[in-house]
Each structure stands twice: as structure tokens, then as C-alpha cells.
Amino acid sequence: MTPVYALDKASVHFGQSTRSVRALSDISLQIHAGERVALVGANGCGKSTLLRLLHGLTQPSSGQVLSEPGMRQAMLFQKPHLMRLSVQANIALGLWLRGLPWRQARGQALEALARVGLLGLAQRNARQLSGGQQQRVAMARAWALQPQVLLLDEPTASLDPHAKREVESLIEEFASASAAMTLVFASHNLGQVKRLASRVIYLEQGLVLADLPVADFFSGSLLQRQYPAAQLFVKGELV
């Protein structure tokens, strides 16, 4: 099966050569259609950089990152980037930039808002919404583009418990709508990882130290034998 992403010894360094910071080092992995991949690890381990690398926002300093040609993908950030426009216009603009006529884009934006339960807020200024509502707008914007791959960087980290449940439910709904939908997300919430992921990649200091099916990742005996650093992270004891 052709992977949607294939990384071959991909590294990312930031800064000048003598003072560069290594964000990722020699990452080699493949992600296939329909997988639900969780990226976990302590702050600064490289999760966000890896997501940006997959999305094309960051280029590798060395190595290769290949993706399926013509693949539709969308990325959500921990804090959504919304413009000073109405909620409807924030969604419609992305569709219009993809070549859809403005009237049709506005109509599809309303459909997307209905999907996430925010149709009644279509004419509100998007930046005046609560954090949970803004993240749902971002989900609607992504859904409207009908992506084959959904990349999420800590999408519920800054939300209250009720908003977390709402956004996580939408992520599950979107991922379950199509068997071919690929989900790659970074999270510190191990309960969320158990609920949403089929595969877990553990990073530490820019290196992939474990890449396992979700059940194996949370198997204490396996981690203790083969991946002690990952076990410390799962137990909350990582220094």
C-alpha cells in the first residue's frame, strides 16, 4: 500500500549552523491511509515540528519527506487562527481560495457550521467566540475542505472539560466518517490518545524512541522491557 507520508532520515534544525537547535533528527517512518496516529512526548520533543513537516509548513534540513500527490489535508492548531470576519466568512474564504464561487462557498460554510452545531453563530465575529467555539469553527473549516488527512496540534489543550469533550467528539466523528480518513495528532492527554489513536509514536529530543499499536504502547510490561523512557512518560515520571 502506498503511504500517504513517507519520511526517510528527515531532520529539522533551526538557527545558524554553529548555534542550530535540533528539532527532529533522522526520522524515518510511514503513515498509511486510515491510520490514527498519536504523537506523544514531553514539551519540546518535536511533536509540533513533525506535524508542520508533514503539512509542508516546515522543510527538512536533510533527508526526505514524501506525500501522496494531490492529497487534500488540513491542520488545526492549539489556538485557531481566525480572521476578524464573521464565522461564516472565515470558513467560506478557504473554499473560495480553493476556486469555489463565493456564493457557493458561503452556502457550504453554513453546512459545515451546522455539522459542528454552530449555525446560529454564522454572523458573529469569529474572534469574539469562546475558545471551545473557535476550535469548533476551525473544525468546521477543515471539514468543509473534505481533507483526506487531518493534522491536529494539541487541539483541546487550552479548553475547559466540556469544550474538550465536544471537540474530541467532533474529531472522532470526522475520523469515523470515512475509513480512508487519516488522523495524525499531538496530545499530552493519554486518555484522549487511548480513545482516538490506533498507533502511538513517542518522541524525545527530536528522536522517535517508540512506534507501537496503541494497545502495545500502554502495555506496561512491553514498555518496561523495550522502551523504558516511554514507560516513564506514561507513568508521569519522566524527568
Residue 221: CB atoms within 10 A of its CB come to 9
Where does the pLDDT of residue 110 fall: very low under 50, low under 70, confident under 90, or very high at 90 and above? very high
Coil, strand, or helix at residue 140? helix
What pLDDT score does 239 carry?
A: 47
What is the CA angle 82-65-38, rounded to 5?
60
The predicted pLDDT at position 176 comes to 87
CB of 224 within 8 A of CB of 232? Answer: no
Q: What is the pTM of this model?
A: 0.91
CA dihedral 92, 95, 97, 103 (to 10 degrees): -60
Question: How many Å apart are CA 57 and CA 77, to the nearest integer?
Answer: 12
- Strand, coil or helix: 159: coil
Is the pLDDT assigned to residue 35 strictly greater than 90?
A: yes
Ordered alpha helix ranges (H), 116-183: 131-144, 161-176
203 backbone dihedrals φ, ψ, rounded to 5°: -115, 150
**pLDDT band per the 50, 70, 90 thresholds, residue 228:** confident
Spatial CA neighbour of 199 closest among 216, 214, 180, 182:
214
pLDDT reading at 42 higher than 70: yes
Looking at residue 237, what is its pLDDT?
57
C-alpha span between 136 and 118 (Å, rounded)? 8
- Model pLDDT, residue 113: 96
Rounded to a whole number, what is the largest CA-CA distance in the chain? 59
**Cell (9 digits) for 22:** 535540533
User: Is 238's pLDDT higher than 60?
Assistant: no
Q: Taking all residues of the chain, what is their mean pLDDT, rounded to a whole number?
A: 91
* pLDDT at residue 18 is higher than 90: no
